[in-house]
Structure 1
């Protein structure tokens, strides 16, 4: 029987020896297996990413959804003025991205995170030649198989519980163990994403075989988040979400998402399928990654601090566990509570005698 020190500094039994070697605690070289999701379009900016990195997690910037390599370089360099820790950049492959990825690799950030598109062997090789690790996010077992074959460094597994754009239909509890089994003894950490906001979710993810967690909604509701104050307030006030396709149909067709059940959404949740934002009135304006943008009704763009107009009628993405978020916190405090909450739970609940086995230490 193998015993090893789990990521929270406590011994767990009956874990494969490979886990000890792969090391959840040192996942991809970071102190904690906590990943800040690349919150779009610009919500995980330099301040939030640096705060998570300085607290020991992996912070992910979000690249623009259009080619802007010079801006991407500036974003990376600004983040480096706020932290001397490694961090990464998330890229949505459904949008123009080749020049942005080139800039990311030129800057040699720690991690290139990819979503909503195929993570090819060629791209992985290109990143590895630049010394950059590749971490795709997947929502289906088939995607995970392709990612493993492409030689990725870790895989974020997103369950249907997640906020924002959700590519798969399976829940985290069914999907993570299947991907863990698929990975087998390869040194490819599995990172769970979807509805994780506290230590309980952290421990649940570990019990499923994940070696880390990717957190979005809880980091949205932080002081450093670039979300509009009204959006942050709604994350604390509202408790329910819905999986829908009402927002952003013209710009990003076939991309369902999970949103807060705001009064605006409740009024329009049954929007006819032929309707989209293209012919709707402008309800606000925003500066996104340095570009002035109009926001039309039913657009898929969340409000940031520069946004003006009818904020409460704009989309507000959130994961299913948003009801557990009761306050806006500093990002470092979120990391601290996730780690300490999980540590305490393992110590109090699971350090007990199990019939037929030696006591967990």
Structure 2
């Protein structure tokens, strides 16, 4: 069963990278200690020394392996060098080309490579360069979404693609509980990646107001109004907050560059101004008009009713998936009961 582990981890549950710094050492270590794969998020700029500090701090909180995620759309060569030098368990890549040279370099350092893809074509390229697993993201996912396919349609195609390659497939997009886990297993995945559910945990570095909105609100929308100048062509799924609903039809020629400053934040050790329509989600250091900032969330957010410890999230999902399969899908043997 999928919960029996993937890539050497106890359970097939991955904490998706939450950015730019929401999945910090505390969350990643909590996930790792509970048997999942936790992923730090590298800065969106070259900061190898800071990244080494994050990795080493995480190692003071757990003796379990974990990974680091890198967005290839931003400067990253020095960050990846630091990751390989530190020999973390997994290098997770997104939004850019995962090259054969990079995979080879990572393997020489003893690091496994797991790209996230949003299309069948991307998955084919990943297979060809020899990756260790593929994370398949459906359009249901929160945050920046690279593809247009739903998980229900894309996941089984990728599973069929890798059938003879011994490459595990991780399902991502809208999954928050044991039912979503079982559904992903039925489609052929060996593991699931959860972002929004781990965003709404005690260890997450998200601002308390952001966490509260994840519990209070139950609707999301696929949009591009946030961060158009900083990250063009990178649509996102966000909560339907009152601010978003007021501005969801922002004209295409407008972006954050000429907007007023609505807050400030310390992100990966750097002080940043936050302008209206910037794609920066509020972390615990953020001040200002928090409710007018981007709040990413996946379509499964309506199933989140409480902020929980990360370890409790994993326990509930694993036990829920096991119970569902045993009760609903394993026929009773040697009994006269109808199934």
TM-score, normalized by the shorter chain, greater than 0.5: yes
List per-residue Cα deviations over 1:274-330 (Å, max 9, x = no partner).
Answer: 000000000000000000000000000000010000000000000001000000000
1:1-361 alignment runs, 5 A limit: 6-8=1-3, 25-352=4-331
Alignment partners' CA distance in 2, 1:98 and 1:351: 49
| Aligned partner of residue 156 in structure 1, secondary structure | strand
| Aligned partner of residue 328 in structure 1, secondary structure | coil
List gaps (5 residues or longer) in structure 2: none
Displacement of 1:256 after TM fit? Answer: 0.4
| Aligned partner of residue 59 in structure 1, secondary structure | strand
| Aligned partner of residue 28 in structure 1, secondary structure | coil
Alignment partners' CA distance in 2, 1:179 and 1:36: 21
Alignment partners' CA distance in 2, 1:58 and 1:47: 13
Alignment partners' CA distance in 2, 1:170 and 1:7: 23
Displacement of 1:352 after TM fit? Answer: 2.2
TM normalised by structure 1 equals 0.92
Q: Deviation above 6 Å: which 4+ runs of structure 1?
A: none
Residues paired across the two proteins, number: 335
Displacement of 1:353 after TM fit? Answer: 6.1
TM normalised by structure 2 equals 0.98
Alignment partners' CA distance in 2, 1:338 and 1:222: 14
Contact conserved, 2:171 with 2:193, CA < 8 A, in 1?
A: yes
Displacement of 1:32 after TM fit? Answer: 0.4
| Aligned partner of residue 100 in structure 1, secondary structure | helix
Contact conserved, 2:2 with 2:191, CA < 8 A, in 1?
A: no
